[in-house]
């Protein structure tokens, strides 16, 4: 399985996987019941997400396309339409705009794009009467495109839909102001390892996580974004005593009696792959070290 998303309005789950299919799960009589969605792709699905109204969902894939899926009442079945315009490689990440129509996508062709996911007889014209990319948005049209040095790991709109952010494998983070007609783009190269995911905190703060296992805060002043600080100040402790079992395991795995300097002074000990908001006071991160950590918010005095 490569992607999962839960719709809090409808209490439905969508999943996708390397078998090139997706499932919509509905909770009925104390049981989650799946319905197969035929995506009509010939490569693995990579990510999925419900739209804000949860009347459709998108699935990214290695087939150089994005599947927009919605429920066809007459056929009593989930159907899919493909967005393919100018996509040159695997789509790694997707995110719906709050207006339920625009969709941002990034991929291994080192490009971030904005498409129209307008579905006739499902979406309303007033939903796209005023957008930063015009009001004529036929399904699948590419509205904008930006190139980066590295492939795109994650892309997300701000809550108000006026800003777009994405992180790329070249250790950079990019901020786009969609509220202005010139769509000002600011890219920040960081001294850290590449980021894998991030989260918006309001419209003026972003916390990014990745291969450097330390959440990093970015803030904006006026129109200029800056790297503020890393949030984990280091509280990891090392035990002075080792059992015979620990020494044996270290010898087998590391060729030494002690892990020594292999222990990082951060809470996470490996790449942080996911960050989410638990509520309006806390964040959670999980990573390849198998740990899930809850962080205080909104003070961010960690």
Per the domain annotation, does 249 fall within a domain? no
In a domain, 7, yes or no: yes
Host domain of residue 42: 3-189
Encode pLDDT of 47-103 as tens digits: 999 999 999 999 999 999 999 999 998 888 999 999 999 999 999 999 999 999 999
Q: Each residue of 197-218: b (16+ CB within 10 Å) or e?
A: bbbbbeeebbbbbbbbbbbbbb
For residue 238, pLDDT beyond 70: no
Domain count, the chain: 1
At residue 190, the 3 state secondary structure works out as coil
| Integer Cα distance of 280 and 297 in angstroms | 7
Answer for the pair 49, 96: CB distance below 8 angstroms, yes or no: yes
pLDDT digits (tens, 9 = 90+) for 121-175: 899 888 777 788 888 899 999 999 999 999 999 999 999 999 999 999 999 999 9
Q: How many angstroms separate the most distant Cα atoms in the chain?
A: 70
DSSP code of residue 86: T
Q: Is the pLDDT of residue 255 over 90?
A: no
- What is the structure's pLDDT at 237? 44
**Is 241 inside a domain boundary?**
no
Residue 150 within a domain = yes
Contacts for 69 with CB less than 8 Å, ≥ 6 apart: 22, 37, 39, 56, 57, 58, 59, 78, 79, 80, 81
Grouping H, G, I as helix, E, B as strand and the rest as coil, residue 122 is coil
Percent of the chain with pLDDT over 70: 89
Q: Does residue 105 form part of some domain?
A: yes
Is the per-residue pLDDT at 280 higher than 90?
Answer: no
Domain-embedded: residue 167:
yes
Sign of CA dihedral 19, 24, 29, 31: positive
Q: Is residue 178 in some structural domain?
A: yes
| pLDDT tens sequence across 161-219 | 999 999 999 999 999 998 877 889 999 999 999 999 999 998 899 999 999 999 999 99
- Neighbouring CB atoms inside 10 A of 33's CB total 11
Q: Apex CA 147: angle with CA 96 and CA 107, to 5°?
A: 50
Element (H, E) at 270: none
- Which candidate, 285, 274, 275, 280, places its Cα nearest to that of 299? 280
Peptide bond into 298 cis (omega under 30): yes
Which residues contact residue 124 at a Cβ distance below 8 angstroms, ignoring those fewer than 6 apart?
Answer: none
d(CA 253, CA 269): 16
- Asked whether the predicted pLDDT for residue 299 surpasses 70, the reply is no
Residue (of 184, 226, 179, 186) closest to 206 by Cα position: 226
* 150, two tokens: 């590295």
CATH classification of the domain holding 77: 2.130.10.10
**pLDDT top residue among 271 and 235:** 271
**Are the C-beta atoms of residues 159 and 165 closer than 8 Å to each other?**
no
pLDDT of residue 235: 57
Does the residue 253 lie in any domain?
Answer: no
């Amino acid at each position: 399985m490569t992607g999962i998303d839960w719709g809090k309005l409808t209490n439905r789950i969508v999943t996708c996987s390397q078998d090139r299919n997706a499932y919509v799960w509905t909770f009925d009589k104390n049981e989650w019941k799946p319905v197969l969605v035929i995506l009509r792709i010939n490569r693995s699905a990579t990510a999925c997400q419900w739209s804000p109204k949860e009347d459709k969902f998108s699935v990214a894939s290695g087939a150089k396309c994005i599947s927009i899926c919605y429920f066809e009442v007459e056929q009593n079945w989930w159907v899919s339409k493909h967005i393919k315009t100018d996509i040159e490689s695997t789509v790694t990440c997707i995110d719906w705009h709050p207006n339920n129509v625009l969709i941002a996508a990034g991929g291994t062709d080192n490009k971030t794009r904005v498409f129209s996911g307008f579905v006739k007889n499902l979406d309303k014209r007033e939903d796209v009467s005023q957008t930063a990319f015009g009001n004529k948005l036929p399904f699948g049209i590419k509205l904008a495109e930006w190139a980066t040095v590295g492939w795109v790991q994650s892309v997300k709109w701000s809550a108000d839909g006026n800003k777009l952010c994405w992180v790329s494998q070249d250790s950079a983070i990019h901020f786009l102001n969609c509220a202005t007609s010139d769509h000002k783009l600011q890219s920040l190269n960081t001294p850290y390892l590449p980021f894998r995911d991030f989260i918006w905190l309001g419209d003026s703060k972003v916390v990014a996580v990745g291969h450097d296992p330390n959440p990093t805060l970015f803030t904006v002043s006026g129109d200029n974004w800056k790297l503020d600080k890393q949030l984990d100040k280091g509280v990891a402790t090392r035990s002075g005593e080792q059992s015979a079992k620990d020494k044996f395991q270290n010898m087998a795995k590391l060729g030494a009696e002690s892990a020594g300097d292999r222990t990082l002074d951060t809470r996470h000990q490996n790449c942080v792959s996911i960050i989410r908001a638990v509520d309006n006071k806390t964040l959670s991160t999980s990573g390849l070290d198998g740990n899930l950590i809850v962080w205080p918010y909104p003070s961010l005095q960690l």
